[in-house]
Amino acid sequence: MPVVSMKQLLEAGVHFGHQTRRWNPKMAQYIFTERNGIYIIDLQKTVKKLEEAYLFVRDVAADGSDVLFVGTKKQAQDSVKEEAIRCGMPYVNARWLGGMLTNFNTIK
């Protein structure tokens, strides 16, 4: 059974992508169709990739490694903070500073 159902994704509006004039050609395989100037995301592929991501993160956490939670958009900030704190992981829910991962000693 998938971690997230296609019905849940539909209800959350996950299938709505970017406007057709703003796209990355690398994402073509995940686009189902285009409607009214908006790309519609293939939710069957999304469910599969979410399951793969879930299994990967589960294994990383089970090995005792850290998982960095990142969500800087307003609608994600509270959830990212709450869930990261709940599982004792680091998080970034405010502006992402360039070099935060690659140059941390300088910017901290």
pLDDT value at residue 108: 63
Per-residue pLDDT of 62-83, as tens digits, reads 999 999 999 999 999 999 999 9
pLDDT value at residue 99: 86
Nearest to 30 by CA among 12, 11, 49, 56: 49
Q: What is the pTM of this model?
A: 0.78
Distance separating alpha carbons of residues 89 and 81, to the nearest angstrom: 9
Element (H, E) at 54: helix 43-62
